[in-house]
Structure 1
């Protein structure tokens, strides 16, 4: 039975020029390179320059993805930007990217699911494309988390960085089985009871301020592995695949210990895990597309490969998507 699939046409990324190392942070707060690496696996992260906005990062990543796809901006009729750090309360950052690309048709909107945002964006775009309502989508994860960090809080400021990544997805006919190229399945979850474990203590509707990120690290770690493996198991069951069938596991890049524990619990071989957290830190919604772009550029991810992406974010939100590249 033939049906529409959301096939990856292109992948791109952008990182700000400034690199902040653990040694740099040790001069700012009471921490050390050894402490950060041991607990997180992070060695450095990129920080947006003054005046460099989330939409600027997202626009650069979108242009790179379009170039990789061999497409023009006018070929896109859906722009979804996953971000927790928008340029403005409104309009949507996606519309700023849309305008920057010179697109004046179709639809553009933001999606907010924190670190799970890109997975939610892929799942949402897939619904638009497979319904037949739209033909090609730009799904972007873009963040300037450095703007919402408390730089005196050593438990959080060492974790995050800025960046953007993007995929171009195109509706194409498939055969309706797991050998099809494109998004094979996505599984998304939310549970608002966990707000206090990972949140920003501000907003226009509450404090009238931007606020700072607050996190109960041990609690997040405690929930992460179980939630992540749950939606990955659902993806395997929905497609009749197993961990052994995966070519690449591209998780949200939050913490090396969470990545390793999740892969181990699922029986995913270490050599199949794409890890960039050491170079990028946690870039929230941008982390998965940044990691995809790295693995695509260095030749690891190739057409036909089976790729699992997954993430967990504040809220809590969590999700997975299984993609045949």
Structure 2
């Protein structure tokens, strides 16, 4: 008679974030736009009024996305007393990347001095959340026991500083709300469950609502050098796409666990704008008092948003070991999902 092997669970061992010290207020950003577009009368206050963003972080000119990810990862590993050689998988999950090839996970591993397998997970602002889903599955099957999920976001590198007029300014306004950041979370095999549930959904028919296009700069097909264009968002279409996703994607995992939103010490929700955050909370029934607001002081932190929020509430003591936390993801595409964890 064989004895069944105990199920392996996943715990979140630690989380860390790195926010560059250099910041740019929205007022300062408007000053720079006015300076670089002297012939245009661009509307002041529009960015703050429509997004709620008052400040964003800007990485140093020599930095790459991998550098921001590595700073967060080193802080996390030092805090947890874990060596890079102890990792057996690294998942890089940023929208920003150092290069098209190789996977940025390799660059992160080399800078950390890790020798484990790596690969990248990419799904717009839900990249980190999907990477946690993947890491949990790999740990549960016994393939890996200690997985580092990290990302480095440098969206300010694509800021459109010169615009043709007010119409283009409004079209690319989302590019003025983003922030540079690094974040990391360590997942480990455990005997008691830490990752309790995850569920995802998509409304891919709405993918055109938010696009950062790849542009060709020349007309010569043999000399084309693609670059990333500014983020163009149709807010109404994006909100509609998110709204078309059945909110059961969030409610079903809670019901299966016998939980309600009130049971959570904190609810981390992706935040592109402050009005959009409150609209979504009302749509999903999330109590505002449970939400960790970061968009006003730190801007849109792209795929690092949820980890920055988690790091903040853990550091502040708002979330302690044993507490429940919900990580609620929203992304262009459109996609949505939730990971429920017991910290």
For normalisation by structure 2, the TM-score amounts to 0.86
The residue aligned with 1:142 is 152
The residue aligned with 1:108 is 118
Which of 3, 12, 19 in structure 1 is aligned with 2:16? 12
Which of 227, 236, 239 in structure 2 is aligned with 1:209? 227
CA contact (8 A) 2:271 2:295 kept: yes
The residue aligned with 2:331 is 313
Q: Distance in 2 between matches of 1:214 and 1:270?
A: 28
Q: Distance in 1 between matches of 2:16 and 2:246?
A: 25
CA contact (8 A) 1:74 1:103 kept: yes
The residue aligned with 2:174 is 156
Which of 281, 287, 291 in structure 2 is aligned with 1:273? 291
Q: Distance in 2 between matches of 1:81 and 1:147?
A: 19
- Does the alignment pair 1:253 with 2:271? yes
Which of 63, 85, 96 in structure 1 is aligned with 2:107? 96
- Offset at residue 65 of structure 1 (A): 1.4
Which of 39, 49, 64 in structure 2 is aligned with 1:38? 49
- Offset at residue 43 of structure 1 (A): 0.8
Q: Distance in 2 between matches of 1:228 and 1:309?
A: 17
The residue aligned with 1:123 is 133
Q: Distance in 2 between matches of 1:227 and 1:256?
A: 20
- Offset at residue 215 of structure 1 (A): 1.2
**Greater C-alpha Rg:** 2
The residue aligned with 2:26 is 22
The residue aligned with 2:166 is none
- Offset at residue 190 of structure 1 (A): 3.1
CA contact (8 A) 1:243 1:266 kept: no
* 1:40-63 CA-partner distances (Å, limit 9, x unpaired): 221101011211100000000111
Q: Secondary structure at the match of 1:48?
A: coil
Q: Distance in 2 between matches of 1:53 and 1:309?
A: 27
Change (3 A) 1:36 1:208: closer
- Does the alignment pair 1:49 with 2:60? yes
- Offset at residue 225 of structure 1 (A): 4.9
Q: Distance in 2 between matches of 1:192 and 1:270?
A: 28
Change (3 A) 1:211 1:228: farther
Give the RMSD, CA atoms, in angstroms: 2.2
- Offset at residue 228 of structure 1 (A): 8.0
- Offset at residue 39 of structure 1 (A): 2.0
Q: Distance in 1 between matches of 2:229 and 2:283?
A: 36
- Does the alignment pair 1:64 with 2:75? yes
Q: Distance in 1 between matches of 2:203 and 2:244?
A: 14
Change (3 A) 1:228 1:203: farther
Q: Distance in 2 between matches of 1:226 and 1:290?
A: 27
CA contact (8 A) 2:66 2:108 kept: yes
Q: Secondary structure at the match of 1:254?
A: coil
Q: Secondary structure at the match of 1:113?
A: coil
User: How many matched pairs?
Assistant: 317
Q: Distance in 1 between matches of 2:240 and 2:12?
A: 33
CA contact (8 A) 2:241 2:334 kept: no
Q: Distance in 2 between matches of 1:16 and 1:238?
A: 40
The residue aligned with 2:207 is 195
More displaced 10-residue stretch of structure 1: 261-270 or 287-296:
261-270
Q: Distance in 2 between matches of 1:130 and 1:41?
A: 40
Change (3 A) 1:248 1:127: same
CA contact (8 A) 2:175 2:230 kept: no
- Offset at residue 229 of structure 1 (A): 3.6
Change (3 A) 1:163 1:173: same
CA contact (8 A) 2:129 2:329 kept: yes
